[in-house]
């Protein structure tokens, strides 16, 4: 046998002996991961779309295909059961969000209405959706080929300063609460509003403790950095960030700073990486800020001349093309969280139907497989992809449930009805 033939034979033998994963394409690795552990998405805003578009009257609403929901003033919805399945979504936290600008008693009522409409949506689509309240429920739904459907409240205004209301929301099925939304509360500072408490006040710390006691996940998306740290100080169960990115990659205050990422391994929580382009791509965020500043400048210069402002803004837009956010940007955030916190502390939280659109290639919920192909191209193994897609979040749920089970003898935290919650 010639030397060349020997080399060819040796190469063939080495290839045949190589691990199967080394021979698989990124597409195959991603597909295998999503088959074994479909995406457990942390945040989807379909319920508020039902309120805004249909007034929660959904008897004739077709959730199988929502591509025909575009109107003169709004794009088509991002989500339906066809595209959720195409996106390999196996479990979904539906956000029962209501505006933080509401008076709190109204916010409580509307949150109840959003829980109701979400349950009705699930009941109307029994072939595709199944209500889930525990990690076991999630796994059972996935095994039956249905999308496990959970609910999360987005903002502490939904409990109206009341731990009693918090407990009742849990009993109705809410399994996480985002501590704030866009406004600072009587007990917690928002990331995007003026702080009043340097994080959480004493009542805010008790909210975290009571959520842990009953088994409700503490969601730290939307809260200030100081509030993130205070919540981690108080927490005895893993926290989540239901839809946030890494602030080191994009400086938006909605994203998670490294100081917090470094604490995640000790807490055990997960950052469920958001798909909102303005939180992913720093150039896009800077462009948006420059555009807002230019509009404010022109309105100050030409107050009372809206046509002039519009014409000059059109000229600015033509000269300052908006950057594009891509799947690669989202993968960059995942890379960074892995590098700082570790592979065990990453999840996915798209924010679909709560934003204009996702990044190019992931405009709606059908795009998740493309993200996992990109991650596989970057060298993530099938095991690592399964952790990101579902297994990390299931672990967090189980640990939160286990902590709550350990507290069965602990009494509820009590405050006088109608008492002041603003004291630090």
Catalytic option among 45, 104, 137, 374: 45
User: Is 351 part of the annotated catalytic residue set?
Assistant: yes
Read off the pLDDT of residues 155-166 as tens digits, 9 standing for 90 and up.
Answer: 999 999 999 999
**Every domain of the chain and the residues it spans:** 27-281+325-406, 282-323
Read off the pLDDT of residues 308-365 as tens digits, 9 standing for 90 and up.
Answer: 999 999 999 999 999 999 999 999 999 999 999 999 999 999 999 999 999 999 999 9
Catalytic option among 332, 351, 364, 384: 351
Catalytic option among 43, 78, 157, 229: 43
Catalytic option among 78, 197, 243, 333: 243
Catalytic option among 78, 80, 104, 181: 181
Asked if 353 and 331 touch (Cβ cutoff 8 Å), the reply is: no
User: Is 181 part of the annotated catalytic residue set?
Assistant: yes
Q: Which of 277, 343, 336 is nearest to 33 (CA)?
A: 343
- Please state which of the four CATH numbers 3.90.480.20, 3.20.20.140, 3.30.70.1350, 3.40.50.880 is assigned to the domain occupying 27-281+325-406: 3.20.20.140
What mean pLDDT comes out for the span 66-86?
Answer: 95
Q: Which of 99, 167, 170 is nearest to 133 (CA)?
A: 170
What percent of the chain is helix, strand and coil (3-state, nearest 5)?
Answer: 50, 10, 35
Read off the pLDDT of residues 93-117 as tens digits, 9 standing for 90 and up.
Answer: 999 999 999 999 999 999 999 999 9
Q: Tell me how far the alpha carbon of residue 331 is from its chain's centroid.
A: 15
User: Is 157 part of the annotated catalytic residue set?
Assistant: no
3-state secondary structure of 125: coil
Predicted TM-score (pTM) of this structure: 0.93
User: Is 222 part of the annotated catalytic residue set?
Assistant: yes
User: Is 75 part of the annotated catalytic residue set?
Assistant: no
């Amino acid at each position: 046998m010639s030397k060349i033939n020997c080399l060819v034979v040796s190469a063939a033998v080495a290839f045949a002996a190589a691990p199967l994963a080394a021979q698989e394409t990124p597409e195959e690795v991603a597909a295998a991961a999503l088959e074994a552990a479909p995406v457990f998405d942390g945040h989807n805003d379909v319920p508020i779309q039902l309120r805004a578009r249909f007034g929660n009257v959904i008897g004739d609403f077709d959730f199988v295909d929502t591509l025909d929901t575009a109107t003169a003033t709004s794009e088509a919805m991002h989500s339906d059961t066809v595209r959720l399945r195409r996106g390999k979504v196996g479990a979904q936290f539906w956000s029962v969000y209501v505006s933080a600008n509401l008076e709190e008693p109204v916010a409580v009522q509307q949150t109840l209405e959003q829980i109701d409409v979400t349950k009705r949506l699930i009941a109307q689509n029994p072939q595709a959706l199944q209500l889930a309240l525990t990690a076991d429920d999630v796994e059972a739904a996935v095994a039956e080929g249905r999308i496990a459907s959970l609910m999360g409240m987005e903002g502490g205004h939904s409990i109206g300063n009341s731990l009693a209301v918090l407990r009742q929301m849990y009993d109705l099925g809410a399994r996480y609460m985002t501590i704030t939304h866009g406004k600072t509360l009587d007990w917690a500072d928002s990331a995007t509003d003026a702080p009043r408490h340097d994080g959480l006040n004493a009542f805010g710390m008790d909210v975290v403790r009571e959520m842990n006691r009953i088994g409700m996940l503490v969601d730290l998306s939307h809260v200030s950095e100081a509030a993130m740290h205070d919540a981690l100080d108080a927490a005895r169960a893993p926290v989540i960030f239901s839809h946030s990115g890494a602030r080191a990659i994009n400086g938006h205050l909605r994203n998670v700073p490294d100081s917090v990422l470094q604490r995640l391994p000790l807490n055990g929580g997960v950052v469920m990486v958001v798909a909102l382009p303005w939180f992913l791509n720093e150039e896009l965020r800077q462009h948006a800020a420059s555009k807002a500043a230019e509009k404010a400048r022109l309105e100050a210069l030409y107050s009372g001349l809206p046509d002039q402002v519009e014409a000059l803004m059109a000229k600015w837009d033509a000269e300052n093309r908006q950057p594009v956010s891509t799947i690669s940007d989202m993968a960059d955030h995942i890379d960074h969280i892995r590098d700082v916190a570790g592979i065990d502390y990453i999840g996915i939280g798209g924010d679909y139907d709560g934003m204009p659109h996702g990044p190019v290639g992931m405009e709606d919920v059908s795009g998740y497989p493309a993200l996992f192909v990109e991650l596989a191209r970057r060298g993530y193994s099938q095991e690592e992809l399964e952790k990101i897609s579902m297994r990390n979040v299931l672990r967090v749920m189980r640990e939160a449930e286990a902590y709550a089970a350990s507290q069965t003898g602990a009494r509820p935290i009590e405050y006088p009805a109608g008492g002041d919650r603003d004291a630090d």
